[in-house]
Amino acid sequence: MEVQNQTEFSEFIILGFKNLQEIHFLLFSGFLIIYLFTMLRNTFIIIMAVVDQRLRTPMYFFLGNLSFLDICYTTTTIPQTLDLLLTERSSISYMSCVFQLYFFFSFVGIECLLLAVMAFDRYVAICNPLRYSLIIKRNVCLQLGAACWAGGFINSTIHTYFAFQLPFCGDNRLDAFYCDTAPLLKLSCGNISLNQRLLLTIGLFIAWSAPLCVLLSELCVLSTAIPLSSTEGRQKAFSTCSSYLTVVLLYYGSCIFTYLRPVPSQSSVNAKLIPLMYSILTPLLNPIIYTLRNKDVKKAWLSIMGKI
């Protein structure tokens, strides 16, 4: 990507921790624990999906993609955040900001699409079990997975390119915890209307249609599973769907709230805190939600530990 810019500075100043010097150690410890737990849990899921024959199914193929994505997701932001907290620096180089924004925005788009694909897989498995093997074939899984990753990177390429084509007139202070689109647009002294139209147009497809597909698929799952289940089965189905929808809608809701509002209307508190909902909490909760009450995962874990 060829980035042209009209600035003379070579770094951005991160203001996210400006007024939190007294609790830097507490924040460092919290972020480190979250990062380690996210890495370990998602790594275990990937290992189990690869090693255990019982988990070589479309559902665990997509879950393995989600786990790998969450590892990349958190690695894009948390290590740099830990470095800022540990060294008490507040700057990030210009090119580091470009790459961080590019990969972070890529993973945001990929996860939005991948969650919708996983909801479709879940819908077919429960509502059309007899046709599942005909609809969700191996090549279909590969194509859907590749489409999610390609769509996320294409989306990020567009936004990153046009964001760093804007002129920045001297103020290099980012009121955020990491490089993100909205804080960068607020620094620009140029016309950001094109960037906002791009966020809105592409966001309508990724951030609105995807959660709508998830919501409709879960409603279909509930309408199919509950009438055929016992009282205990209904409670389990409702509990599973509600926990799944909670995390998914939390992710989509925070993304919509962050990227699909006018940049000038975003307060500094929202600009800094809301992104933490999908950049840290969602990768932390995904392994728990998707493996909750999952007997196959428990058996695979016990089998691997037994071999070790």
Question: Is 4 part of a structural domain of the chain?
Answer: no
Q: What is the pLDDT of residue 157?
A: 93
Domain residues for 283?
11-307
Q: Which of 155, 152, 151, 124 is nearest to 140 (CA)?
A: 124
Question: Is 204 part of a structural domain of the chain?
Answer: yes
Question: Is 221 part of a structural domain of the chain?
Answer: yes
What percentage of residues in the chain have a pLDDT greater than 90?
Answer: 15
Nearest-angstrom CA–CA distance, 157 and 105 = 9
Q: What is the pLDDT of residue 173?
A: 82
Question: Is 3 part of a structural domain of the chain?
Answer: no
Q: What is the pLDDT of residue 232?
A: 61
Q: What is the pLDDT of residue 267?
A: 53
Q: What is the pLDDT of residue 36?
A: 93
Question: Is 1 part of a structural domain of the chain?
Answer: no
- Calculate the CA 77 to chain-centre distance: 12
3-state SS record for the chain: CCCCCCCCCCEEEECCCCCCHHHHHHHHHHHHHHHHHHHHHHHHHHHHHHHCHHHCCHHHHHHHHHHHHHHHHHHHHHHHHHHHHHHCCCEEEHHHHHHHHHHHHHHHHHHHHHHHHHHHHHHHHHHCHHHHHHHCCHHHHHHHHHHHHHHHHHHHHHHHHHHCCCCECCCCEECCCCCCHHHHHHHECCCCHHHHHHHHHHHHHHHHHHHHHHHHHHHHHHHHHHHHCCHHHHHHHHHHHHHHHHHHHHHHHHHHHHHCCCHHHCCHHHHHHHHHHHHHHHHHHHHHHHCCCCHHHHHHHHHHHHHC
* Total domains in the fold of the chain: 1
Q: What is the pLDDT of residue 266?
A: 53
What's the whole-model pTM score? 0.84
Question: Is 5 part of a structural domain of the chain?
Answer: no
Which residues, given as ranges, of the chain have pLDDT below 50? 1-7
B/e letters for 285-305, b = 16+ CB within 10 Å, e = fewer, are bbbeebbeebeebeebbeeee
Q: What is the pLDDT of residue 2?
A: 43
CATH number at residue 262: 1.20.1070.10
Question: Is 244 part of a structural domain of the chain?
Answer: yes
Question: Is 127 part of a structural domain of the chain?
Answer: yes
Do residues 255 and 177 make contact, with C-beta atoms less than 8 angstroms apart?
A: no
